[in-house]
Structure 1
Amino acid sequence: MSTPFTPDVVEAIKRHMNDDHAEDSLIIVRGLGGRPAVTSAVTSDVDAEGIEFTVDGGEKVRVPWGETLTERAQARKAVVRLYRDACAALGLSARGEH
């Protein structure tokens, strides 16, 4: 799958998600990844089509962006959209802007 992100950018996004938004990743996997009972979710890959998480026991769960990203700046907005959609799906109140 093609990606507009260099390996360094992918690593930076993964690091940011795992260091600063671990709980958001869990909410995304529970609400949009079809795994409502997982207890951990680590961002393991990012590309133009979606974001991938490694969850309990090492299973990979991929959540599509809903659009094809063409530049790095779109990733932040796409993650925020997934987070808010997941909160809505789970009946949670979303925090303000990330």
Structure 2
Amino acid sequence: MGVPHTFDSDVITAVLRHMNGDHTDDNILIARAFAEPSDAEITDSVMTGFDGDGGVWEITRDGSIAELHVPWPGGPIADRPSVRREVVALYDDACARLGVEPRPHA
């Protein structure tokens, strides 16, 4: 298994700003769908990073903070357009796991 692709800091900053500014509800939805144990109440989720293998969120559940790493659904990625595609796929997967109707994607 190789080393995951590392994105430039400007790409990471832009994606994190977008996710934490425009998609706070999606961050919580992803955390609730993928965190274990699934019965813990997640009250906050902030995307803190990502690489070619997946995204990383700092989640708050039952009063404790933990790190959640979620692999990209389509496998490893190595370019910026793939980040959006994989985050959208994570959102769709989270909706399916939780029985939530996903909103349309632009």
TM-score computed with the length of structure 2 as normaliser: 0.85
2-side partners of 1:71 and 1:10: how far apart?
Answer: 11
2-side partners of 1:81 and 1:49: how far apart?
Answer: 14
**Contact (CA 8 Å) 1:18, 1:42: kept in 2 or not?**
yes
Name the residue aligned to 1:26: 28
Name the residue aligned to 2:46: 42
Quick check: 1:51 aligned with 2:58? no
**Contact (CA 8 Å) 1:29, 1:35: kept in 2 or not?**
no
Q: Structure 2 unaligned runs (5+)? A: none
Rg larger in 1 or in 2? 2
TM-score computed with the length of structure 1 as normaliser: 0.91
1:35: Cα distance to partner? Answer: 5.3
Give 1:64-75 correspondences, 5 Å limit. Answer: 64-66=71-73, 67-75=75-83
3-state SS of the aligned residue for 1:30? helix
What's the Cα RMSD here? 1.4
Identity %: 34
Q: Hey, which of these two has a bigger chunk of strand by percent? A: 2
Q: Hey, which of these two has a bigger chunk of helix by percent? A: 1
Aligned length: 98
3-state SS of the aligned residue for 1:19? helix
Q: Structure 1 unaligned runs (5+)? A: none
Runs of 4 or more consecutive aligned structure 1 residues displaced over 4 Å after TM superposition: none
